[in-house]
Amino acid sequence: MLEGKERPGWPLRFYEAWEDKAGGIKVREGTVSYEQLTHWLTLQANYAIADNDGLLLLEEHMVLRLITCDFSDYPFALGCGQASFLKIKKAFRLHDTTEEAFVSNNGAFARYFSAGVNSVEADSLAMVIKIPRWARGSGALSLSFDRKTATTRAFLNWIPNHEHEALLNLLRDQKDKSAYRHPLLLPTHMLNSHQRTMEAYRKLVDDTIVKVELRVGYALPGLLYYKPIVPLVAWGTAGPDDFEDVVRRLHGTLAELGALCFECTFGKDAGAFLMKTQQELAGRGFISLVKVSPRVSEGFVHQIDFAANLYSTMVGQAAVLKERVQSHINLTFSLIAQEENKLSRAVAEHSQRDSAAMRTIAVMTMFFLPPTFVATLFSMEMFDWSPEAPRKRMVSANFWIYWVIAGPLTIIVLVVWRFWWVKEEKRAQDELRKTRQRRWSKP
């Protein structure tokens, strides 16, 4: 099991509440170092709390005790370290699968109702929820709730500073402080926070898809629109490289949509899990025995149900977005194929004209070259055609000089021809690239 490192100087953060003798709720928040964690868990030393009469409060008198920690060096490890986690787990009586759930990448949730030694009915609840870390999800919660004392103990792992502040604002803004006694206060907040994060992420993905649609001139949803507002050339390098970037973005968007769909499906299942937990809490008499107003309980039910419905909607939206992206990919490949066909036709036309010219030259050369060679060869002074000396040699003894000079010259001509051919081939490739750019840059 991977363990996070203990960090001196990176304290844990806490929020806790208790009830005074007058029935009011008092709260305290702050930080605690790893060295002082035991003192905070047992309300000793600097973390002791005294009532109005000067008597020290016991740990079981605390209505709500919450401690959070940030990310560790490794994303799938305990942010507070193994030793600190075991202290918190033992003191808070957390769910047995807390550690396994916290280091999981795929998300998890579980609950367990347990009864005391001399009790038949369940008198405590242990719950763990781990948000999957795929798209932008993070965070893990493990809590225990005691029905007899109406107290909640909770540990939140992977909670960055801005999310911790959002949680503190939620707790501070609770007008009805009886919500501190409800075991679904923190799970409901976690569900709502994750739902808002996924909605913001879905909007980013949707905006990316719309930008790609504008680049390729695809019809926007609900609009009969087929002409790009911004030409392709204005978005970067014109030509096939631009469409290559479009295809890469579309495939990347498909991966993002897969992660989004996975996390939204988890959120929908987690909402159903919390709704069932609420029903079991009510059925087992947990809510009726604690001092929680019916309005607070109904508010949590409404929030959970609404978040679950929003998750269901986002799952449907993700499915539609996947179809849109796949349609864009097909369209992009079709446009590329059409442009390649146009280029192929243009190249074929140029090749046909060049081929006709070369054939004409070849035919004329084949017609005149043999007579020219024969006439030139026999007109040299290397041959003696005079009738005055019939017994004299017709071929000069220096005829070999002709071949000594002609042979190397022929080789030189072949080398020069090869150099010219490579240069012309490069020029043809440059011309083809320019032609392709001109065609792709047309609005």
Edge to edge, the sheet with strand 151-157 lists 25-32, 12-19, 62-68, 151-157, 140-146, 122-130, 108-115
Q: Is residue 377 part of a domain?
A: no
Q: Is residue 19 part of a domain?
A: yes
Which residues in 133-263 belong to E strands, given as ranges?
A: 140-146, 151-157
Burial of residue 407, with CB atoms counted within 10 A of its CB: 0-12 exposed, 13-18 middle, 19 or more buried: exposed
Q: Is residue 274 part of a domain?
A: no
Q: What CATH number should be reported for the domain holding residue 37?
A: 3.30.460
Q: Is residue 164 part of a domain?
A: yes
Q: Is residue 248 part of a domain?
A: no
Looking at the DSSP bridge assignments, the partners of residue 75 are: none
Report whether 242 contacts 232 (CB < 8 A): yes
**Total structural domains in the chain?**
2
Q: Residue 202 CA to chain centroid, in angstroms?
A: 11
Q: Is residue 296 part of a domain?
A: no
Answer positive or negative: Cα dihedral of 131, 194, 68, 64: negative
**Cβ neighbours, 10 Å, residue 184:** 27
pLDDT in tens, the chain (443 residues): 444 444 444 679 999 999 888 888 999 999 999 999 999 999 999 999 988 777 889 888 899 999 998 865 566 678 788 899 999 999 999 999 999 998 888 889 999 999 876 666 888 999 999 998 876 667 899 999 998 888 999 999 888 888 889 999 999 999 898 899 999 999 999 999 999 999 999 999 988 888 887 777 666 665 555 554 444 433 333 345 577 788 888 888 898 999 899 999 999 999 999 999 999 998 888 877 677 888 888 999 999 999 999 999 999 999 999 988 888 888 778 877 877 787 788 777 777 777 777 878 877 887 777 777 777 777 777 766 666 655 666 777 777 777 788 888 889 988 998 898 888 888 888 877 776 666 555 54
Q: Dihedral through CA 157, CA 163, CA 165, CA 169, nearest 10?
A: -110
Q: Is residue 178 part of a domain?
A: yes
- Overall pTM > 0.75: no
Burial of residue 128, with CB atoms counted within 10 A of its CB: 0-12 exposed, 13-18 middle, 19 or more buried: buried
Report whether 202 contacts 268 (CB < 8 A): no
Nearest to 109 by CA among 259, 277, 264: 277
| Residue 312 identity | S
User: What range does the domain containing 31 cover?
Assistant: 12-188
Distance CA 335, CA 327 (A): 12
Tracing tokens 């369940």 back to the chain, one arrives at 122
Report whether 121 contacts 115 (CB < 8 A): yes
Domain end among 188, 215, 232:
188
The contacts of residue 284 (CB under 8 Å, 6+ apart) are 113, 121, 122, 147
Q: Is residue 290 part of a domain?
A: no
